[in-house]
């Protein structure tokens, strides 16, 4: 076929030709073309195949209302699936392929499926594939379904910028009404943003000869200039895809093809919906043949892209827009016949190639049928925001009714289809003046699907839903509009029903003899048009996905060849040295036991509680009694939830009468802080208690091991480190080279330990000093993995690893406060609920294995000796202890405390072994090394 491009007119730039290919053939288009307009210009009609029957299909509409022309597009070596051809702007070098068709859209091997259509109607799969088994059929069905394939490549940098903005008036749609409203609002001093999804504003104005005495181009340019001169902002290629809570509008601003759109979260005081309307299909036999297109679409192709959809055109329309459209097409050189669709049955003639149209038995030859079934306002955003719709008999459409707060609809989106009236209305609304009546010259005759009509009358083009499918749904009592949608898949294609919903619900109304508004609409859901997942995920990818907290000393750890990994939300050294992690961890454990290990314990929580009521407050927060703690002393304790379950453990130090420091688990700090704040403000006098989280401000370095005192003594601190002057579980405040430091004698390893806290900006000096002092005695840095082994040898637990959500403190051997503590504390009453008194509670124990046996797998269960194995608990921590030379394990076991010495069966992934229950402490049970 020869070119359908006319020689002049339109918004394309004929001086900039672009080359592209479709299904292997090369074509030329121009800057400003869409993929569909460029293909149409080249005479390509078949651009895809339908979802189920693989029928050949051409484009229906020129913009967001096209459900037919869908391509996988490759540019710059990157393939994007399922690009809507009608809204994808052509770029030089694009390689496009039809989807769901092989080898090409014009010749598809699966086209034969259409012959089976009588058995593949609505919901056929619910009635069959039951015997022998669905799984036998499903793989085939899945291969047949789906449109484009998604390629395996990961696109580097395909990420959306995320913008936040606000404005007084957001105008959605840059057609006549939107432009007029934006100008009027901006000129009356409002902060205006106008968004338009085309790359050139103007809507359908380019179909006209003149607007208010100007050419459309001049009029549009004048409005844009005036809007910007008055301080308004205009965003083209920007789609308002959803209205969300608190009047926030999601905007997707397109960049060049291949780049993720930019997401704007635009919060507007007022939203003016000027999103226009789309032309709806007419339901007749074979109404989805290639060459049957939207009349309005054809006018857009002509006006914007200089493409004449056909040579010999039959215009089938029930409304007053047909005449000017036909005139415009005729003026561009087409032979146009206007046909009244209300006179009798209609049938498109021809198959892959249209031959004509038959109406009431009369045949009209045509290569193209342009259809206009009346205008449907685009009210999606109205409904997102909770606005109501009212059925309007005059326009045969659902129009905006009761408005959501702060929202107004104007122009075609409001059913104001006549230009002059739309302009008047737009300006009135923008200036908060009373709006004129909608009534105008637009006339439309009711024209809806007629039940019982012969032939294949398509309702959802992409999803192959026919009038017969709707009739079947009605016959089977799937009559609610949602049942109809779900049973037939009507309205679930990529256009989400923009072209099909009205026909579908009108068909159901006709079948049931109900008025259309009684059938109602399905829910409008965002996004207005499909949006890439990258739009939403934005920059929260890779290392920016829940970013890790970083240590002040990270550069020094890297310099020391630390293996950094995530531990509780922090990036921490797991061990030092490359290769053979197990060997390094083992060496570090041995070093810590023989000389000393130096650990960066900075992530440890450091939450200060102070004020006149601080003592009673921490006494209430902790399970353990804290009020008897003396200044300078430290106590280990639990925080519970109000349900009595262990939330966190750690030590609390008393700095003074009214001042405490809580050390919580590094991963729980934020949670603990919020927990403390909640109790502080709800139930206490918040002016007498103050909470400060200083975790990030202080770094903490721990020296642990028999040589710890020697190493710390090398520091220039005026502090007596002797065991008598500075015993275990005490804290001293002093200075290091003039900088305040806190030194705590607490141990998470079971060996003599000093925890030195210093402000983070001075931590590097301290680290280097400790490492230098350590080197002379054979000590050095250890990572968190070695610490895990060291603490397990001593039987110290990690909350969340050695406990579960149900664990109570008496399950861990800390039963005294439950029995004795007089004062109220969080969770107290729950410790006496029925569940707390169960005699089969899982309690913390240790496990030993027989000499020579391997360590127990962590996660293995302990099972009873009944016929069917039943879990009685599980191994929570397990290591081959370098210190002891044999495996050790901790776990939770039903009635564990009473079962010390008992042999238990261990079960892991079907394998059985055995172990002996022991007390949960393997190293220095008397605590001699701890108190050294």
Partner 1 sequence: MQLFPCPFCGPRDEREFHFAGEIGKTRPDTTGEVSAEDWARYLNTQRNEKGRVREVWMHLTCSELFVMERDSVTMEVLSSTPLREDVE
Partner 2 sequence: MARRYSAWSLFREGLRGHKGWGPAWRSPEPKKRYDVIVIGGGGHGLATAYYLAKNHGITNVAVLEKGWLGGGNTGRNTTVIRSNYFYPESVALYDLSLRLYEGLSKDLNYNVMFSQRGVTNLCHSEPEMEMAARLVNAMRLNGTDAELLDADQLRKFIPALNIRPDARLPIHGAVLQPRGGTGRHDAVAWGYARAADAAGVDIIQNCEVLDFITEGGRCVGVSTSRGDIRADRIGAAVAGHSSVLAEKAGVGLPITSYALQAFVSEPLKPVLDTVLISPVTGTYVSQSDKGGLVIGGGLDRVPSYGQRGNLPVQETVMAGLTEMLPILSKVKLLRHWAGIVDVTPDSSPILGPSALEGLYFNCGWGTGGFKAIPAGGYLFAHILATGAHHDISRPFGADRFTTGRLIDEGAASGIAH
Contact in structure between 707 and 780 (CB atoms under 8 Å): no
Q: Which does 523 bind (CB under 5 to 8 A by kind): partner 2, partner 1, none?
A: partner 2
User: Which of positions 388-407 make contact with partner 1 (CB under 8 A)?
Assistant: none
Dihedral pair phi/psi, residue 874, rounded to 5°: -155, 160
Contact in structure between 623 and 809 (CB atoms under 8 Å): yes
Contact in structure between 316 and 371 (CB atoms under 8 Å): yes
Q: Which of 188, 830, 858, 914 binds partner 1 (CB under 8 A)?
A: 830
- The single residue listed with the structure tokens 């899945």 is 142
Nearer to partner 1, 58 or 242 (CB): 242
Contact in structure between 280 and 373 (CB atoms under 8 Å): yes
Whole-angstrom distance, CA of residue 844 vs CA of residue 898: 11
Nearest approach in angstroms of CB 623 to partner 1 is 13
Q: Which of 828, 858, 869, 902 binds partner 1 (CB under 8 A)?
A: 828
Task: Check residue 834 for interaction with partner 1 (CB under 8 A).
Answer: yes
Nearer to partner 1, 126 or 244 (CB): 244
- The single residue listed with the structure tokens 């220095």 is 924
What sign does the CA torsion over 626, 631, 634, 639 have?
positive
Task: Check residue 823 for interaction with partner 1 (CB under 8 A).
Answer: yes
- Stretch of 31-39, 48-56, 132-140, 826-834 lying at the interface with partner 1 (CB under 8 A): 826-834
DSSP tag of 74: E
Q: Which does 860 bind (CB under 5 to 8 A by kind): partner 2, partner 1, none?
A: partner 2
- Stretch of 534-542, 779-787, 827-835, 868-876 lying at the interface with partner 1 (CB under 8 A): 827-835
Dihedral pair phi/psi, residue 507, rounded to 5°: -65, -45
Nearest approach in angstroms of CB 830 to partner 2 is 6
Contact in structure between 880 and 861 (CB atoms under 8 Å): no
- Stretch of 117-125, 437-445, 733-741, 818-826 lying at the interface with partner 1 (CB under 8 A): 818-826
User: Which of positions 220-249 make contact with partner 1 (CB under 8 A)?
Assistant: 244-246, 248
Task: Check residue 386 for interaction with partner 1 (CB under 8 A).
Answer: yes
Q: Which of 311, 483, 643, 886 binds partner 1 (CB under 8 A)?
A: 643
Q: Which does 804 bind (CB under 5 to 8 A by kind): partner 2, partner 1, none?
A: partner 2
Nearer to partner 1, 210 or 681 (CB): 681
Task: Check residue 928 for interaction with partner 1 (CB under 8 A).
Answer: no
Tokens for 595, please give them. 């000389």
- Stretch of 409-417, 478-486, 574-582, 683-691 lying at the interface with partner 1 (CB under 8 A): 683-691
Task: Check residue 683 for interaction with partner 1 (CB under 8 A).
Answer: yes
Q: Which does 858 bind (CB under 5 to 8 A by kind): partner 1, partner 2, none?
A: partner 2
Contacts of 272 (CB under 8 A, 6+ apart): 169, 170, 171, 172, 178, 181, 185, 407, 408, 409, 410, 426, 429, 430
Q: Which does 152 bind (CB under 5 to 8 A by kind): partner 1, partner 2, none?
A: partner 2
Nearer to partner 1, 28 or 641 (CB): 641
Tokens for 59, please give them. 């484009």
C-beta atoms surrounding 713 within 10 Å? 15
Q: Which does 819 bind (CB under 5 to 8 A by kind): partner 1, partner 2, none?
A: none
Nearer to partner 1, 203 or 404 (CB): 404
Angle at 505 between CA 196 and CA 449, to 5 degrees: 105
Is residue 172 classed as helix, strand or coil in its secondary structure? strand
Q: Which does 494 bind (CB under 5 to 8 A by kind): partner 1, partner 2, none?
A: partner 2
Nearer to partner 1, 118 or 246 (CB): 246
Q: Which does 674 bind (CB under 5 to 8 A by kind): partner 1, partner 2, none?
A: partner 1
Task: Check residue 820 for interaction with partner 1 (CB under 8 A).
Answer: no
Task: Check residue 628 for interaction with partner 1 (CB under 8 A).
Answer: no
Whole-angstrom distance, CA of residue 248 vs CA of residue 240: 10
Query: How would you write 122-170 as a 3-class SS string?
Result: CCHHHHCCCCCCHHHHHHHHHHHCCCCCCCCCCCCCCCCCEEEEEEEEE
Strand 389-392 relative to strand 397-400, pairing = antiparallel
Tell me the residue length of the chain: 932
Task: Check residue 914 for interaction with partner 1 (CB under 8 A).
Answer: no
Contact in structure between 131 and 69 (CB atoms under 8 Å): no
Question: What ranges in 541-596 are assigned the alpha helix state H?
Answer: 554-559, 581-594
Nearer to partner 1, 162 or 236 (CB): 162
Residue 601: Cβ-neighbour burial (10 angstroms; 0-12, 13-18, 19+): buried
Contact in structure between 853 and 886 (CB atoms under 8 Å): no
Whole-angstrom distance, CA of residue 751 vs CA of residue 598: 12
Nearer to partner 2, 97 or 427 (CB): 97
Nearer to partner 2, 151 or 210 (CB): 151
Nearer to partner 2, 127 or 630 (CB): 127
Query: How would you write 712-751 as a 3-class SS string?
Result: HHCCCCCCCCCCCCCCCCEEEEEEECCEEEEEECCCCCCC
Whether the bond between 454 and the residue before it is cis, its omega within 30 degrees of 0, is no
Nearest approach in angstroms of CB 549 to partner 1 is 16
Is residue 458 classed as helix, strand or coil in its secondary structure? strand
Nearest approach in angstroms of CB 805 to partner 2 is 2
Task: Check residue 686 for interaction with partner 1 (CB under 8 A).
Answer: yes
Nearer to partner 2, 191 or 804 (CB): 804
Whole-angstrom distance, CA of residue 792 vs CA of residue 779: 21
Task: Check residue 816 for interaction with partner 1 (CB under 8 A).
Answer: no
Nearer to partner 2, 431 or 829 (CB): 829
Q: Which does 418 bind (CB under 5 to 8 A by kind): partner 2, partner 1, none?
A: none
Q: Which of 74, 117, 222, 265 binds partner 1 (CB under 8 A)?
A: 265
Is residue 261 classed as helix, strand or coil in its secondary structure? coil
Nearest approach in angstroms of CB 869 to partner 2 is 6
Strand partners, 348: 357
Helix (H) or strand (E) holding 299: helix 295-305
Contacts of 657 (CB under 8 A, 6+ apart): 615, 631
Task: Check residue 658 for interaction with partner 1 (CB under 8 A).
Answer: no
- The single residue listed with the structure tokens 């029928």 is 55
Task: Check residue 800 for interaction with partner 1 (CB under 8 A).
Answer: no
Angle at 749 between CA 744 and CA 755, to 5 degrees: 20
Nearest approach in angstroms of CB 727 to partner 1 is 34
C-beta atoms surrounding 777 within 10 Å? 17
Nearer to partner 1, 151 or 681 (CB): 681
Task: Check residue 681 for interaction with partner 1 (CB under 8 A).
Answer: yes
Nearer to partner 2, 487 or 576 (CB): 487
**Site for partner 1, rule CB under 8 A:** 244-246, 248, 265, 267, 386, 642-643, 673-674, 677-678, 681-683, 686, 691, 822-825, 828-830, 833-834
């Amino acid at each position: 076929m020869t070119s359908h491009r006319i020689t002049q007119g339109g918004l394309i730039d004929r001086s900039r030709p672009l080359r592209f290919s479709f299904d292997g053939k090369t074509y030329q288009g121009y800057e400003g073309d869409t993929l569909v307009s460029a293909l149409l210009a080249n005479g390509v009609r078949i651009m895809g195949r339908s979802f189920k029957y693989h029928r050949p299909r051409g484009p229906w509409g020129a913009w967001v209302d096209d459900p037919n022309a869908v391509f996988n597009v490759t540019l710059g070596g990157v393939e994007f699936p399922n690009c809507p051809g009608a809204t994808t702007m052509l770029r030089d070098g694009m390689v496009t392929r039809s989807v769901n068709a092989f080898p090409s859209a014009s010749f598809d091997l699966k086209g034969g499926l259409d012959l089976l259509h009588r058995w593949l109607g609505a919901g056929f799969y619910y009635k069959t594939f039951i015997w022998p088994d669905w799984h036998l059929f499903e793989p085939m069905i899945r291969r047949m379904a789906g449109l484009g394939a998604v390629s395996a490549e990961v696109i580097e940098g395909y990420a959306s910028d995320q913008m936040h903005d606000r404005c007084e008036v957001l105008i959605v749609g840059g057609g006549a009404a939107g432009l007029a409203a934006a100008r009027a609002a901006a000129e009356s001093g409002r902060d205006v943003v106008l968004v338009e999804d085309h790359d050139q504003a103007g809507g359908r104005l380019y179909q006209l000869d003149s607007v208010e005495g100007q050419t459309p181009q001049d009029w549009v340019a004048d409005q844009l200039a005036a809007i910007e001169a008055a301080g308004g902002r205009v965003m083209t290629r920007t789609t308002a895809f959803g209205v969300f809570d608190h009047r926030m509008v999601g905007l997707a601003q397109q960049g060049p093809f291949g780049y993720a759109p930019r997401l704007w979260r635009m919060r507007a005081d007022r939203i003016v919906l000027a999103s226009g309307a789309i032309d709806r299909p007419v339901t007749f036999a074979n109404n989805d043949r290639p060459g049957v297109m939207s009349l309005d679409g054809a006018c857009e192709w002509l006006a914007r892209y200089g493409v004449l959809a056909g040579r010999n055109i039959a215009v089938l329309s029930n409304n007053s827009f047909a005449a000017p459209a036909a005139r415009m097409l005729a003026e561009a050189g087409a032979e146009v016949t206007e046909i009244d669709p209300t006179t009798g049955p209609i049938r498109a003639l021809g198959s892959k190639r249209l031959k004509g149209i038959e109406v009431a038995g009369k045949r009209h030859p045509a290569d193209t049928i342009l259809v206009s079934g009346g205008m449907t306002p685009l009210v999606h955003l109205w409904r997102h925001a909770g606005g109501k719709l009212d059925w309007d008999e005059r326009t045969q459409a659902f129009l905006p009714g009761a408005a959501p707060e702060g929202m107004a609809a104007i122009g075609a989106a409001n059913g104001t289809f006549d230009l002059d009236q739309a302009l008047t209305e737009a300006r009135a609304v923008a200036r908060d003046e009373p709006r004129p009546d909608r009534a105008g010259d637009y006339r439309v005759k009711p024209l809806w699907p007629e039940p019982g009509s012969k032939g294949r009358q398509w309702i959802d083009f992409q999803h192959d839903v026919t009038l017969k499918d709707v009739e079947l749904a009605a016959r089977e009592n799937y009559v609610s509009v949602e049942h109809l949608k779900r049973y037939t898949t009507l309205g679930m294609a990529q256009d989400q029903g923009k072209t099909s919903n009205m026909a579908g619900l009108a068909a159901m109304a006709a079948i049931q003899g109900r008025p259309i508004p009684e059938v109602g609409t399905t829910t409008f859901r965002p996004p207005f048009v499909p949006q890439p997942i990258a739009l939403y995920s934005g920059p929260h990818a890779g290392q920016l996905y829940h970013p890790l907290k970083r240590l002040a000393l990270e550069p020094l750890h890297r310099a020391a060849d630390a293996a950094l990994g995530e531990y509780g939300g922090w990036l921490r050294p797991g061990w030092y040295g490359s290769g053979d992690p197990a060997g390094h961890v083992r060496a570090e454990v041995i070093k810590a036991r023989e000389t000393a290990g130096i650990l960066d314990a900075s992530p440890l929580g450091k939450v200060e509680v102070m004020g006149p009521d601080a003592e009673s407050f921490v006494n209430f927060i902790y399970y353990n009694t804290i009020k008897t703690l003396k200044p300078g002393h430290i106590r280990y304790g639990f925080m519970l939830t109000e349900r009595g379950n262990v939330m966190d453990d750690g030590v609390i130090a008393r700095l003074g009468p009214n001042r405490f420091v809580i050390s919580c688990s590094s991963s729980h700090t934020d949670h603990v802080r919020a927990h403390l704040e909640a109790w502080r403000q709800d139930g206490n006098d918040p002016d007498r208690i103050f909470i400060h989280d200083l975790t990030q401000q202080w770094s903490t370095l721990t020296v642990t091991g028999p040589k710890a005192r020697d190493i710390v003594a090398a520091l220039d601190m005026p502090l007596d480190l002797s065991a008598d002057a500075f015993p275990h579980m005490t804290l001293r405040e002093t200075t290091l080279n003039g900088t305040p430091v806190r030194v705590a004698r607490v141990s998470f390893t079971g060996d003599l330990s000093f925890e030195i806290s210093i402000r983070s900006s001075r931590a590097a000096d301290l680290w280097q000093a400790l490492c230098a002092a350590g080197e002379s005695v054979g000590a050095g840095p250890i990572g968190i993995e070695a610490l895990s082994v060291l603490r397990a040898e001593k039987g110290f637990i990690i909350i969340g690893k050695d406990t579960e959500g149900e664990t109570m403190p008496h399950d861990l051997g800390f039963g005294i406060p439950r029995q004795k503590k007089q004062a109220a504390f969080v969770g107290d009453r729950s410790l006496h609920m029925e569940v707390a008194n169960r005699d089969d509670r899982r309690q913390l124990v240790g496990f030993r294995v027989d000499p020579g046996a391997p360590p127990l797998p962590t996660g293995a269960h302990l099972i009873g000796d009944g016929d069917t194995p039943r879990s009685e608990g599980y191994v929570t921590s397990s290591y081959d202890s370098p210190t002891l030379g044999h495996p050790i394990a901790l776990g939770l076991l039903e009635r564990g405390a009473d079962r010390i010495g008992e042999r238990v069966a261990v079960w892991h992934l079907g394998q059985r072994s055995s172990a002996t229950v022991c007390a949960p402490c393997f190293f220095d049970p008397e605590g001699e090394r701890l108190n050294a």
